[in-house]
Amino acid sequence: MFGKIGLEEHFATTETVDDSFFFTFEPEKQKILGGKLLDFLDLRTREMDQHGMDMMILSLNAPAIQARWDKKAATGMARRANDTVAEAIAKRPGRYLSFAALAMQDPDEATRELERCVKELGFVGALVNGFSQIDFEDNIVYLDDKRYRPFWAKVQDLGVPFYLHPRSAITAHRHMYEGHPWLTGAAWGFAVETGTHCLRLMCSGLFDEFPDLQIIIGHLGECLPSHIWRTEHRLQREAPGFAKGAPLPWKGSLVDYFNNNFYVTTSGNFRTQALLGAMLEIGSDRVLFSTDYPFADVAEACAWFDVCDISENDRRKIGRENAIRLFGLKL
């Protein structure tokens, strides 16, 4: 398929590139990965042209800003990253767009930076790498926290999507992976961390307060498409007991939230069975093509997607048309 649009496609700055070496210990592999992350246009443009991709929507690598617990340092780093990518993509109009990197350590500054990026730099939304560490290393805050309600109001007001990207649990919270460090990242821990974060948003009442919010998650839904019904089913029975007679924080159905307020992408999960499962749960109108460059191969992602066993109508929607609609692109 020609004309594909990918929207979990990463870059780094010289300040953040080392964050991506956590799971890549060989110096030669680090050199290759770092080169791809720091090259905004040339290497990735060639790969796009070779494999039928018209556009990439870029985003900062992880955990980057979210792991800088000094608020002022995080805020400055986010602004510099956004200015850097804005300058780069301006050189290739029509081929690249960007999500804003945001320092959620300071909700007010993050709100202002999102508005600047959307209104002044032409960004199409935000991507945040999970929870943020605030003031000290072990103080982590998730986005369902009440301090973020004004931020979410601004996201809804701007009418842009918010991409919730994974990060690994901090060292102090990795007890379940003891002896198996290889499970902490993309192989498994990312899905546990991000899927739980999504459920926290749902169970906080966020989508009752802001029903137009649109959240994007990668890797074909971080296991939620196959599990959201069971979570809902058990919560109906068990949550009132945990609440001990108090009203539950959310009013609606988790399945409905997932179907109305979430999109999933194919980033790094090139499995037709998983794609079909996501389409059955959330609908093909809410699935979006992505590669997860450079942590996954553009060639592998495109070779799979271009021939996977779905209808051509769904292939066009997932590969291109859904993104055009979601982001209001004029292509």
Residue listed under structure tokens 């093509």: 289
Diameter of the chain by CA atoms? 59
Q: Which of 92, 21, 105, 87 is nearest to 295 (CA)?
A: 21
Concerning whether 292 is annotated as a catalytic residue, the answer is: yes
Which of these, 7, 42, 37, lies nearest to 24 by C-alpha position? 37
Contact 220, 278 (CB under 8 A): yes
| Residue among 19, 106, 144, 292 flagged as catalytic | 292
Which residue(s) pair with 179 in the sheet?
none
Q: Residue 49 CB: number of other CB atoms within 10 A?
A: 11
Report yes or no: 68 and 33 within 8 Å, Cβ to Cβ.
no
Which of these, 132, 157, 155, lies nearest to 142 by C-alpha position? Answer: 132
Catalytic residues: 292
